[in-house]
């Protein structure tokens, strides 16, 4: 593997507008800033990563602002002008900063892309992925009524999505799921609660068992793995963890405790591709299936998600819908497209998509170049 030395990082903060608002138990999104991280190596190769943040710290503690700050003041100074032998080394180079997983992931994934391009490999191949196509699911935000939700599910089933995920919250759960189940008795259906319940809701959550859901995602607190183990013993629906898993160590402990039967891997939430691969391998070795979660990414984050999903134990369709489900026009060329619920894994070098520079410039609200390891802070 040819080593990489990053000489410059460009932070492109863009303002994105989703084609439609997306509502979860913790709020509604439509506009968001994300920082697209361009890492340029000594030979001029650009690799891309994305902060899969939103503007508010409601999903986890990070925001786009905090991620940019961490990148500028701590993370980039640590990696710039250093010879990196393998992309798996980047994770350990960044552990001197506690947490801030999404910020770390944005630079780490950009460096994976540089490595893949430098070594003329598709990113999927560099990480050991063997699949050439992946199955795709659709995550649907909370709708104003069960009828409206049934209508949406109908559109997406028609379009070929192979898993339907419905966001739920107290007051928008049983009626909604029941209506969808009645209309689509055999649809591969799951619910995502984004931490909206507590153990006091066990009896209520048990009622979901009758709807033959593939799983319930993150029903309890965002940082819990203990109560989830208690809940999993009481309900039949498999529990899947999202928010609670930030690292390989979290995954190991959750599996040991029986807190879940499935894990949603999000590259940002766990601090990068290296840690995602480790969690994937751990789950594979324990017979636990995984799937790739989404954070309403631009095409750059989406490309990384698709590459990750090429690993063998991603046996459940991920939240990796095509570009047109999020944006009028994506910032990558070509856009991500889906055919009958399948997305082709890119076969070109790196993430396999070009960044649309003209579109990028139009959406950019702030741009900063970092070329030195100088920082106000002493780095250990
Ligand atoms: O919990 O999976 C989640 C979006 C933002 C924050 C959290 C979540 C989500 C989604 C959207 O479910 C998935 C997608 O990108 O389509
Ligand atoms: Mg989730």
- Whichever domain contains 108, its CATH number is 3.30.390.10
Q: What is the CATH number of the domain that holds 174?
A: 3.20.20.120
Regarding whether 277 and 144 lie in a shared domain, the answer is yes
Task: Answer yes or no: is 375 within a domain.
Answer: no
Say how many domains are in the chain. 2
| 217 annotated among ligand-binding-site residues | yes
326 and 228 inside one domain: yes
- Does one domain contain both 88 and 132? no
Q: Whole domain around residue 42: which residue ranges?
A: 4-120+356-370
Please check whether residue 319 lies inside any domain of the structure.
yes
Same domain? For 152 and 236 the reply is: yes
The share of the chain scoring above pLDDT 90, in percent, equals 98
Q: Is residue 242 a known part of a binding site?
A: yes
**Strand residues in the chain grouped as ranges (E):** 4-24, 27-41, 46-50, 83-84, 133-135, 138-140, 164-167, 189-192, 216-217, 239-241, 262-265, 290-292, 332-333, 342-344, 354-355, 364-370
Give CA separation, 158 vs 19, 145, 183, in Å.
20, 20, 13
Question: Does 146 have pLDDT greater than 90?
Answer: yes
- Taking only the tens place, the pLDDT of each residue in 216-248 is 999 999 999 999 999 999 999 999 999 999 999
CB 279 within 8 A of CB 270: yes
Q: What is the mean pLDDT of the chain?
A: 97
Residue bearing the CA closest to ligand 1, atom 6: 295
Tell me, yes or no, whether 165 and 141 share the same domain. Answer: yes
Ligand 1 atom closest to Cα of residue 321: 16
Kindly give the distance from the C-alpha atom of residue 24 to the centroid of ligand 1, in angstroms, as a whole number.
8
Task: Please give the helix or strand (H or E) that residue 109 lies within, else none.
Answer: helix 101-118
**75 shares its domain with 184:** no
- Whether 189 shows a pLDDT value over 90: the answer reads yes
User: Is 358 annotated as contributing to ligand binding?
Assistant: no
Same domain membership, residue 134 and residue 101: no
pLDDT at 276 over 90: yes
pLDDT for res 376:
85
With the C-alpha atoms ordered 261, 262, 268, 270, is the resulting torsion angle positive or negative?
positive
Residues 159 and 299 in one domain: yes
Place of tokens 């979860």: 24
| Residue 380 pLDDT level (bands cut at 50, 70, 90) | confident
Q: What is the pLDDT confidence band of residue 283, given thresholds at 50, 70 and 90?
A: very high
Q: Tell which atom from ligand 1 comes closest to the C-alpha of 141.
A: 12
2: three-class secondary structure by DSSP: coil
Question: Residue 378: pLDDT band by 50, 70, 90 thresholds?
Answer: confident
Q: Out of 139, 290, 299, give the residue to mutate to test ligand 1, the one with the largest number of ligand atoms within 8 Å of its CB.
A: 139
Q: Is residue 241 domain-resident? A: yes
The answer to whether residue 378 sits within a structural domain is no
Same domain, 269 and 151: yes
Looking at the structure, tell me whether residues 190 and 280 fall in a common domain: yes
Same domain, 162 and 215: yes
CA separation for the pair 164, 260 (Å, rounded):
20
Instruction: Answer yes or no: pTM beyond 0.85.
Output: yes
What is the 101 CA–ligand 1 centroid distance (Å)?
Answer: 16
Tens-digit pLDDT profile for residues 287-326: 999 999 999 999 999 999 999 999 999 999 999 999 999 9
Question: Is the pLDDT at 51 greater than 90, yes or no?
Answer: yes
- 330, part of any domain: yes
What residues are in contact with ligand 1 under a 6 Å CB criterion? 59, 139, 192, 194, 242, 293-296, 319, 321
Residues 139 and 282 in one domain: yes
Q: Name the closest-CA residue to atom 8, ligand 1.
A: 295
């Amino acid at each position: 593997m040819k080593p990489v030395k990053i000489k410059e990082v460009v932070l492109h903060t863009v303002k994105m507008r989703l084609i439609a608002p997306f509502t979860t138990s913790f709020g509604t999104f439509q506009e968001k800033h994300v920082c697209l991280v361009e890492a340029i190596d000594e030979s001029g190769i650009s690799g891309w990563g994305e902060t899969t943040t939103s503007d508010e710290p409601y999903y986890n503690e990070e925001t786009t602002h905090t991620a940019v700050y961490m990148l500028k003041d701590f993370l980039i100074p640590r990696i710039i002008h250093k010879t990196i032998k393998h992309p798996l080394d980047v994770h350990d180079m960044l552990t001197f900063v506690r947490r801030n997983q999404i910020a770390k992931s944005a630079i780490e994934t950009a460096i994976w892309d540089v490595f893949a391009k430098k070594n003329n490999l598709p990113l999927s191949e560099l990480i050991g992925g063997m699949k050439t196509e992946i199955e795709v699911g659709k995550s649907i935000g909370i709708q104003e009524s069960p009828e409206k939700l049934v209508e949406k599910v109908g559109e997406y089933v028609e379009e070929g999505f192979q898993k339907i995920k419905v966001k739920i919250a107290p007051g928008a759960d049983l009626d909604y799921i029941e209506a969808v189940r009645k209309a689509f008795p055999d649809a591969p259906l799951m619910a995502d609660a984004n931490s909206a319940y507590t153990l006091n809701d066990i009896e209520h959550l048990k009622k979901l068992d009758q709807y033959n859901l593939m799983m319930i995602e993150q029903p309890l607190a965002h940082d819990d793995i203990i109560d989830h183990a208690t809940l999993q013993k009481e309900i039949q629906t498999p529990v899947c963890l999202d928010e609670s898993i930030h690292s390989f160590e979290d995954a190991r402990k959750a599996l040991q405790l029986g807190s879940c039967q499935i894990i949603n891997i999000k590259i940002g939430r766990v601090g990068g591709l290296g840690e995602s691969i480790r969690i994937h391998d751990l789950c594979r070795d324990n017979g636990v299936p995984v799937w790739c979660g989404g954070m309403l990414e631009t095409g750059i984050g989406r490309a990384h998600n698709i590459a990750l999903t090429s690993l063998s134990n991603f046996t459940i369709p991920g939240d990796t819908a095509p570009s047109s489900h999020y944006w009028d026009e994506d910032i990558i060329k070509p856009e991500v497209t889906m055919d009958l619920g399948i997305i082709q894994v890119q076969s070109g070098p790196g993430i396999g998509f070009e960044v649309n520079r003209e579109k990028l410039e139009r959406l950019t609200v702030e741009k900063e170049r970092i070329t030195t390891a100088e920082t106000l802070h002493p780095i250990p």
